[in-house]
Amino acid sequence: MESNGGESTFQADVVVVGAGLSGLVSAAEAYSAGRTVLILDQEPEASLGGQAHWSFGGLFLVDTPEQRHLGVKDNAELALSDWMGSAAFDRPEDHWARQWAEAYVNFASGEKRGWLHSLGVRFFPLVQWAERGGYDAQGHGNSVPRFHVVWGTGPGILAPFLAKVAEGVAAGRVTMAFRHRATELVFDDGRVAGVRGEVLASSAADRGQASTREVAGAFTAAAGAVVATTGGIGGNHEMVRRQWPGNASPKYMLTGVPASVDGEFQHTVSEAGGNLVNTDRMWHYPEGIHNPDPVWPNHGIRILSGPSPLWLDATGRRLPVPLFPGFDSLGTLRHLGSTGHDHSWFVLNKTIINKEFALSGSEQNPDLTGKDVKLLARRALPGATGPVQMFLDRGVDFLQGTTAQELAGKMNALIGEELIDPQGLHETLAARDRQVLSGLGKDTQVNAIREARRFATDKLMRVVPPHPMLAPEHGPLIAVRLSTLTRKSLGGLQTDLAARVLDASGIPLAGLYAAGEAAGFGGGGLHGYRSLEGTFLGGCLFSGRIAGRNAAADTAS
């Protein structure tokens, strides 16, 4: 780095804008190819790794040893059918997204696991079943379990790339520039040749905390190629609302990502000619709860629930089939948006919460994150896990009652409005219990619970046997208020299969690449309308690897 009249200047073969997972992968690949690399990030060093650090570490993988050990029969053809049924591509802008989707499924069923294993990444052996769908064979959902949790969660998937970047720093070939916010692309003879931006004032903010935007200087970074890996928009509620389909966003939302996830650089690239597509496609969760120990503003956590809780709208009506916990996130979000209320409820009991509730995120799973086998073994003991019990004891959204009528009174008191009929809630639970006691029954959710228990992971650690919810020995009853939780944008900068950013006519902007959420995880939206889960970290890995390798090749002398 040099100083030129008060403006800092940098020079590198490849400049990576953003130090999240896709940025670190891109930088590691470019460095491994022999290039010098500059990594810019607007946050302090404490937030290195971005959103991936906070993640549960789930990866979509196909036909793995872990699946086969559990008796799961999976293959690339089935996975691609599931992907296309969920994505439902229907726009001209989906041309490249569709090709990225096919390439990613091939990666997930091919070299992805072996590549990660060679880097030291290991997996929890009990594969999870996310987004089960519940429609027909060509509709949304995973036909089989594919959600592989990394041993070490989010930090575990970051570790090999952080190590490779650190190696590059020690070798003097990788430079990290924190508190450097890129705001403009630099062109030279029609080619992207670097970025300009602001040097932000130093900040002592801890990981994930909001940091000051006070400007302390300026910088220019010259490069042979630039890779945009600045993430999505989930921390910017104004942008989320502006891009929400039909302008029908909930009035109240929790935030599932740090405030730094602001989406601003996507629009910087768009203004410079990059094609920003599918911005109305987003992936937010309807199962958000308030974090009693918030890190960032309005910090929410997602409940990862088994299929047994009853999901009720704000007035106490059960959601329609198949909108059960863990079956169709976007379908549930859309339905709740039509109810006229911003919240919904899980209603369950102590037996169910003890086995079926988990919380998304690295800090809510200290056993998996810390690779602590002894702590992990405690999941098999009676009672809720420590993090779940903490929310049950301290969470403002958690209520308990000995009867349905008592519980309904507390639900109404929390909301400040008499929306739940106490006797109606009792009758809803009693009707469900009669179906359980019949041994057969017509309740689709009860039958789905029985079906789930045919899968070893669910039977062992995720799904309790069907039982009368009102039975005192399974009590107390529990209600959990749920709010929309912002998380991912599915659209982004359109890229070809080399991760080159395209303009509106489909021509690459020379010297410019994009990866991760900023590129819709590839092609401007490889998920289409819906995610099969475990595909966000994987999309960062896949697109980051491609972008880093091609940016390095683009700067070969």
Q: Within a domain: residue 417?
A: yes
Question: Is the pLDDT at 5 greater than 60, yes or no?
Answer: no
Task: Find the CATH number of the domain harbouring 537.
Answer: 3.50.50.60
Whether 2 and 139 have beta carbons less than 8 Å apart is answered as: no
Q: Which residues contact 111 (CB under 8 A, 6 or more apart)?
A: none
Whether 446 and 463 have beta carbons less than 8 Å apart is answered as: no
pLDDT score at 542: 98
Q: What is the CA radius of gyration of the chain?
A: 24
Q: How far is CA 197 from the centre of its chain?
A: 28
Task: Round the average pLDDT of the chain to a whole number and report it.
Answer: 96
Task: Please count the CA atoms within 13 angstroms of the CA of 400 that sit on its side-chain side.
Answer: 14
Distance CA 185, CA 175 (A): 19
- Segment 194-210 shows an average pLDDT of 97
- Segment 423-436 shows an average pLDDT of 98
Strands (E) located in 444-530: 477-489, 492-493, 500-502, 508-514
In this structure, the answer to whether residues 271 and 287 fall within a common structural domain is no
Q: Which residues contact 153 (CB under 8 A, 6 or more apart)?
A: 55, 56, 57, 361, 362, 365, 368, 369
Task: Please count the CA atoms within 13 angstroms of the CA of 19 that sit on its side-chain side.
Answer: 26
In this structure, the answer to whether residues 192 and 328 fall within a common structural domain is no
Q: Within a domain: residue 369?
A: yes
Burial track 9-35 (b if 16+ CB lie within 10 A, e otherwise): ebbbbbbbbbbbbbbbbbbbbbbebeb
Distance CA 104, CA 112 (A): 9
Whether 362 and 57 have beta carbons less than 8 Å apart is answered as: yes
Whether 43 and 15 have beta carbons less than 8 Å apart is answered as: no
Please identify which residue in the block is written with the tokens 């989930």: 234
Q: Which domain holds residue 451?
A: 282-485
Nearest C-alpha neighbor of 303 from the set 283, 319, 279, 325: 325
- Segment 138-157 shows an average pLDDT of 97
pLDDT score at 116: 98
DSSP 151-177: TTHHHHHHHHHHHHHHHHHHTTSEEEE
The DSSP element (H or E) to which 80 belongs, if any, is helix 76-87
Distance CA 141, CA 136 (A): 9
Nearest C-alpha neighbor of 353 from the set 445, 200, 464: 464
Please identify which residue in the block is written with the tokens 């997204």: 97
Q: Within a domain: residue 1?
A: no
Distance CA 252, CA 92 (A): 33
In this structure, the answer to whether residues 291 and 255 fall within a common structural domain is no
Give the residue from 460, 485, 510 where a domain finishes: 485
- Segment 527-536 shows an average pLDDT of 97
Residue 4's pLDDT band (cuts 50, 70, 90): low
10 Å CB burial of residue 452 (0-12, 13-18, 19+) is buried
Q: How many CB atoms lie within 10 A of CB 310?
A: 21
In this structure, the answer to whether residues 503 and 478 fall within a common structural domain is no
In this structure, the answer to whether residues 410 and 506 fall within a common structural domain is no
Whether 491 and 460 have beta carbons less than 8 Å apart is answered as: no
Write the Ramachandran bin of 49: left for phi over 0, alpha for psi from -120 to 50, otherwise beta.
Answer: left
In this structure, the answer to whether residues 477 and 542 fall within a common structural domain is no
In this structure, the answer to whether residues 242 and 276 fall within a common structural domain is yes
- Segment 74-102 shows an average pLDDT of 98
Q: Within a domain: residue 2?
A: no
Q: Within a domain: residue 3?
A: no
What pLDDT, in 10s, does the model give residues 239-291? 999 999 988 999 999 999 999 999 999 999 999 999 999 999 999 999 999 99
Residue 3's pLDDT band (cuts 50, 70, 90): low
Domain total of the chain: 2
Quote the percentage of the chain above a pLDDT of 70.
99
Q: Within a domain: residue 408?
A: yes
In this structure, the answer to whether residues 179 and 240 fall within a common structural domain is yes
Letter for the amino acid at 470?
Answer: L
Give the residue from 485, 511, 541 where a domain finishes: 485
Please identify which residue in the block is written with the tokens 């395209």: 502
Residue 492's pLDDT band (cuts 50, 70, 90): very high
Give the residue from 485, 512, 543 where a domain finishes: 485
* Cα→Cα distances 72→63, 75, 92, 117, 307, Å: 8, 10, 36, 21, 19
Whether 537 and 362 have beta carbons less than 8 Å apart is answered as: no
pLDDT score at 86: 98
Q: How far is CA 430 from the centre of its chain?
A: 36
Q: Within a domain: residue 215?
A: yes
In this structure, the answer to whether residues 433 and 535 fall within a common structural domain is no
Distance CA 426, CA 445 (A): 18
pTM: 0.96
Nearest C-alpha neighbor of 91 from the set 278, 245, 280, 282: 278
Residues in the chain: 557
Q: Within a domain: residue 35?
A: yes
In this structure, the answer to whether residues 337 and 409 fall within a common structural domain is yes
Please identify which residue in the block is written with the tokens 């629930």: 305
Q: Which two tokens stand for residue 522?
A: 């590839």
Question: Is the pLDDT at 469 greater than 70, yes or no?
Answer: yes
Residue 404's SS3 state is helix
Query: 202-216, 345-359, 371-385, 404-418: which has the minimum mean pLDDT?
Result: 371-385
Quote the percentage of the chain above a pLDDT of 90.
95
Nearest C-alpha neighbor of 286 from the set 330, 247, 249: 330
Residue 557's pLDDT band (cuts 50, 70, 90): low
Q: How many CB atoms lie within 10 A of CB 172?
A: 8
pLDDT score at 79: 98
In this structure, the answer to whether residues 375 and 409 fall within a common structural domain is yes
In this structure, the answer to whether residues 469 and 530 fall within a common structural domain is no
pLDDT score at 41: 98
Q: Which two tokens stand for residue 456?
A: 């070893």
Q: Which two tokens stand for residue 233?
A: 């928009």
Question: Is the pLDDT at 103 greater than 60, yes or no?
Answer: yes
- Segment 163-183 shows an average pLDDT of 98
Task: Find the CATH number of the domain harbouring 309.
Answer: 3.90.700.10
- Segment 52-66 shows an average pLDDT of 97
Whether 464 and 355 have beta carbons less than 8 Å apart is answered as: yes
- Segment 137-147 shows an average pLDDT of 97
Residue 350's pLDDT band (cuts 50, 70, 90): very high
Question: Is the pLDDT at 64 greater than 60, yes or no?
Answer: yes
